[in-house]
Amino acid sequence: MNSPILPVPEAYVSRFESLAYGLFVHWGLYSQIGKGEWYKKWHGVPMDEYRKLTETFTAEDFDAREHARFARRCGMRYITLTTRHHDGFSLYDTRGLNTYDAPHSAAGRDLIAEFVQACRAEDIVPFFYHTTLDWSLDTETCDEKAFAAYLDYLNDSVEILCTQYGKIGGLWFDGNWSRRDADWQEDRLYGMIRSHQPEAIIVNNSSINALGAKGHPQLDVVTYEQGRPEPLNRTGMEKYVAVEMCQTMNLHWGIGKHDFMYKSPAEVITDLASCRRVGANYLLNIGPTAGGAVPAYEKACLERVGEWVAVQAPAIYNARPTACVCEGRDFVLRDPDTRKAWYFAHNLPIHDNDHKTREAGATEGMRKIEGLDFVPARAKWLDTEESLSLENESGHLKLNCTGYPYGSNLVVRVAELT
């Protein structure tokens, strides 16, 4: 009987998976209002009135270099920025396609050029989000002739991004779901991208209602918008595709001044670990202020998570999923090139005398690991380098997971197995 065929990832796709953790940035004209990125749509603002926001879009607080430094401090290795969102306004120079862009706004400059330069200076990989629907051109309901003309405009717009800013990490499209039965001419669009950027990751968001849905054969990633990814069965696939979960810090992508439903550092750490468990990248969004600055809460929260990432770094970026079976939510990642693995432990207690700081269900002691393809000789916590005992009886491996020293709690604690 023939073995099931498993596709092998292209080198550029493997590099994308090793980026692991990225920053999504939704910023545009809508940021001045502070009612989310769909402000125009949900508040019924006429296009003529909405376009007046270009007159006050100064980008006075947009420091692209600081955004890149911020991402690096957070442990993120790539940034995906909204070059054009559904309102049709472009942060880049559209070079004569129209005047509805940042150089013709109060900002008076090409903000994507600044972004790309800053990313390269800070060793961050730049990705471009680009809408495929456009409210300014009524692409959801226009007739077929107008839609065909729009696709020419869309193709020309993306070609600018592919030719004027050097090598990029990839393009992240969003909006085909707005006209599901239409011919979006994806062969043409993706073929043009490959001709200019052969190693660019191509993503087209399947939307929150189609998590993990596979699309066009040229796509490199399946998306999970606001939904935790599951292990992807690639058996029989003609092409290896990566997985990425994108999430908001609150309930909006663009800044929502009255949205207080924020994630905590502990939630972000848990979500990042859950993504890496199944080999998925985690793309976490912020909505900058009207002027383009990182809001204070997101800055504090994500830099705090960055301290956790710095401790666990060996287990975050290049590690890959395993078929190991562990207890509870625990799991094991494996270095594909060496005999090294990492055990991610949840629900550990803090050592104190009267148990006042212990969470419900937190336990320490021996935890079983089944299915690891080598027998480790040593184990240690990455945060303290405390050595941990191992037992191996008749092929049944157990790791002694000790609790946190008083004064610490990493939410998810990682042990290195060698």
pLDDT (0 to 100) of residue 236 = 87
Same domain for 310 and 330, yes or no, is no
Check if the beta carbon of residue 64 is closer than 8 Å to that of residue 117: yes
Question: How confident is the model at residue 27, as a pLDDT?
Answer: 98
Token pair of 378 as six digits: 């040593």
Q: Which pLDDT does position 209 carry in this prediction?
A: 73
Instruction: State residue 282's pLDDT score.
Output: 98
pLDDT for 94 equals 98
pLDDT of residue 396: 84
* Residue 5 resides in a domain: no
* Beta bridge mates, 242: 221
The C-alpha atoms of residue 128 and residue 125 are separated, in whole angstroms, by 10
137 CB-side CA count, 13 A: 23
CA dihedral 201, 206, 211, 214 (to 10 degrees): -60
Structural contact between residues 330 and 345, judged by C-beta atoms closer than 8 angstroms: yes
Given a contact cutoff of 8 angstroms between Cβ atoms, the answer to whether 225 and 205 are in contact is: yes
CB 383 within 8 A of CB 402: no
Output the pLDDT for position 352: 75
Same domain, 300 and 326: no
Which strand (E) or helix (H) includes residue 299? helix 296-316
Domain's final residue, options 316, 342, 368: 316
- Look up the CATH number of the domain holding residue 159: 3.20.20.80
Give the bridge partners for 390, in sequence order: 399
288 and 372, same domain (yes or no): no
> Is 337 a domain residue?
yes
- At residue 173, the pLDDT reads 98
* Cα-based distances in Å from 295 to 121, 290, 299: 23, 10, 6
CATH number of the domain where residue 353 is located: 2.60.40
Q: End-to-end alpha-carbon separation of the chain, Å? A: 35
Q: What's the CA gap between 408 and 311, in Å, rounded?
A: 13
**Residue 135 DSSP class:** G
Domain extent at residue 263: 11-316
Q: Helices 186-196 & 144-163, crossing angle to 10 degrees?
A: 10
Are residues 222 and 77 both part of a single domain?
Answer: yes
In a domain, 58, yes or no: yes
Q: Which residues contact 77 (CB under 8 A, 6 or more apart)?
A: 19, 20, 21, 22, 71, 124, 125, 317
pLDDT less than 70: residues of the chain: 1-3, 208, 210, 353-360
Q: What is the pLDDT of residue 337?
A: 87
Contact 91, 101 (CB under 8 A): yes
Q: What does the pLDDT read at residue 353?
A: 60
Q: Are residues 223 and 351 in the same domain?
A: no
- Shared domain for 147 and 91, answered yes or no, is yes
* Same domain flag for 131 and 207: yes
Q: What is the number of structural domains in the chain?
A: 2
- Farthest CA pair distance, the chain: 75
Place of tokens 């989310």: 36
Residue 150: predicted pLDDT: 98
Please state, for a pLDDT cut of 70, what percent of the chain lies above it. 96
Same domain, yes or no: 104 and 166: yes
For residues 160 and 194, membership in a common domain is answered with yes
CA distance 191 to 131: 18
Give the model confidence (pLDDT) of 248-261 as tens digits.
999 999 999 999 99
Q: 302 and 340 in contact (C-beta within 8 Å)?
A: no
Q: Is residue 193 part of a domain?
A: yes
pLDDT of residue 395: 74
| DSSP strands (E only) in 214-264 | 221-225, 242-248
